[in-house]
Amino acid sequence: MPFYLIALIIFLIYFKTLNYHYVIDDYVRREGYLWNVPKEGQNPTFYDTKPTKKYRLFMIGMHIVNTFLIYTLWGWQGALLFAVHPMSVWGVAWVTGNYYATTAYFTLISYFFITQILNPFGLMAGAIFFLCALNSTADAMSFPFLFLMTGNWLGCITFLPLIYFMNGKRWVTGFGTRKEIVKGKQVDIISWDWRRPFFMTKVMARYIETFFFPRKFYFFGPWAERIRESKAEWDFYHAPNKEFWISLLICFATFISGMMIHPTATLWFFVLMGIHSQFTVLGQPFAQRYLYLPQVGLCVVVGTLFINNPAIIYALAGFYVCRSFTVLPNWQHQEDLLLNETTMHPERGSGHSAIAQYYISRKKLIEYPPWKINEISSHMRRAAILQPENWVISMNFCAYLVMIGKIDEAIAANERTIMLMEKYATEREKPGIPGAVKQLEWLKNLRVEAKRQAKLAQKANDRRKGKK
């Protein structure tokens, strides 16, 4: 298949994204990513804005370029599957996700220079492009080990930029930020566990399953979500139970069959996916968006398997196109993205809280009809039932009560929120987490201020009732 046809298919799939709005997974934007975390949430008007069409075209173009590099290195079969696979949507339709596409570009071109231009210039260029990849996201950190495992000793020059990066401010600051986020949770109590390979096997199996059977699409799944906060969940996911043995079978079968079909592509997946295998439990345990770069390997393996049966490749590509069209509408607007979370995982309380928080934050911009207020109430109350001890949900519930004018209930909810926050901070203080004592002091001051604000709100409410 000529490449221009693959490029045309990509453009036709993603053409509709030219009019999509900004969407974000958190309530903070990612400028200065891994350097700092903004203290204030995003202005609600932000969600009504859109990237320029030129930037959207750049994002689509980046995916086309990545596909072209795969086409050049390994042929049209794997390139076509990568071009249309629904797991590629995260890198093309989401502005922040385009960082993953950028990392993939620099990693692929680094591999091209090192393996195709066999001279000092090629090695130097490959090392430089790999350093660029590291400075876009950390997804490519395990890339040098690919050369080590394939016996390409010249490619091991990439260890030099890796060492340089890991001693630089970006990595040190970013890793420190991640550690601060999870301080006081289960990961701090058990920083390493001899059972960790059981958990890592389960994580890798889920990525393999998601690639071959892309059924649900979401940002935050409930799988292992509370592993750092609940010892019971920590023990369950680290246990050699039935899920582990099934996961081990999936990983073993994929690795052995892949090595028989295309060893380099198989190692590409397992090595580059390894950075997200949770050997250190930081960040989200499992996220579909992390598949963008590693899935290149599996696409090439499948493409090579059916290299003499193009009809099967076309059939798979057609299925993937349909799935991509299914997931793309979720990226049209922040509301669509958050509603999809509640549809995919209705049992996840924080998902219902997130969509309610989105609506509440826009109350000053939109006059909601009664049915919309009922919808917000449904999400907020469901979240409170599903996760009653979550102080963030309790805080959002308080804001909801203020929005509908139930000041007395809001004051009581506010007291409960502060109690839950103090409980959380106290639990952090027990294992001697740095900053926990300071946080407790801050919460005590917050309680005093909250009571003052509650009295003012109560007086305002009494005056309003008096006027009526």
**Residue of 155, 131, 134 whose CA lies nearest to 145:** 155
Pick from 141, 137, 136: nearest CA to 164: 141
**Angle, helix 295-305 to helix 76-84, in steps of 10 degrees:** 130
* Domain boundaries along the sequence of the chain: 3-334, 346-467
> One-letter amino acid identity for 288?
Q
Angle between helices 120-134 and 143-150 (to 10 degrees): 140
The token pair that represents 32 in the structure block: 């200065």
Whole-number pLDDT of residue 31: 45
CA 250 to each of CA 85, 205, 256, 338: distance values in angstroms, whole numbers, following the listed order: 20, 6, 10, 31
Please give the average pLDDT of every successive group of 10 residues along the chain, which has 468 residues: 95 94 67 44 79 93 97 96 95 89 96 93 95 90 95 93 88 68 53 83 96 86 78 87 96 97 97 90 81 96 96 96 92 91 89 90 82 91 89 84 80 78 63 48 59 66 64
Q: Which residues contact 430 (CB under 8 A, 6 or more apart)?
A: none
Q: What pLDDT does 33 receive?
A: 39
Residue range 81-125, pLDDT digits in tens: 999 999 999 999 998 888 899 999 999 999 999 999 989 999 999
Q: Decide: 58 and 95 in contact? Cβ < 8 Å.
A: no
CA–CA dist 42, 51 (Å, integer): 16
CA distance 184 to 228: 9
Q: How many CB atoms lie within 10 A of CB 166?
A: 14
Class of domain 346-467: mainly alpha
Other CB atoms within a 10 A radius of the CB of residue 157 amount to 18
The 3-state secondary structure of the chain reads: CCHHHHHHHHHHHHHHHHHCCCCCCCCCCCCCCCCCCCCCCCCHHHHHCCCCHHHHHHHHHHHHHHHHHHHHHHCHHHHHHHHHCHHHHHHHHCCCCHHHHHHHHHHHHHHHHHHHCCCHHHHHHHHHHHHHHHCCCHHHCCHHHHHHHHCCCHHHHHHHHHHHHHCCHHHHHHHHHHHHHCCCCHHHHCCCCCCHHHHHHHHHHHHHHHHHCCCCCCCCCCCCCCCCCCHHHHHHHCCCCHHHHHHHHHHHHHHHHHHHHCHHHHHHHHHHHHHHCCCCCCCCCCCHHHHCCCHHHHHHHHHHHCCCCHHHHHHHHHHHHHHHHHHHHHHCCHHHHHHHHHHHCCCCHHHHHHHHHHHHHCCCCCCCCHHHHHHHHHHHHHHHHHCCCCHHHHHHHHHHHHHCCCHHHHHHHHHHHHHHHHHHHHHHHCCCCCCHHHHHHHHHHHHHHHHHHHHHHHHHHHHHHHHC
pLDDT of residue 32: 43
pLDDT value at residue 435: 46
Residues in Cβ contact with 242 at an 8 Å cutoff, skipping those fewer than 6 apart:
none
| Residue pLDDT, tens place only, 380-426 | 999 999 988 887 888 888 888 888 878 778 777 777 877 777 776 66
What are the tokens at 234?
């920590």
pLDDT for residue 396: 85
The confidence score (pLDDT) of residue 38 equals 47
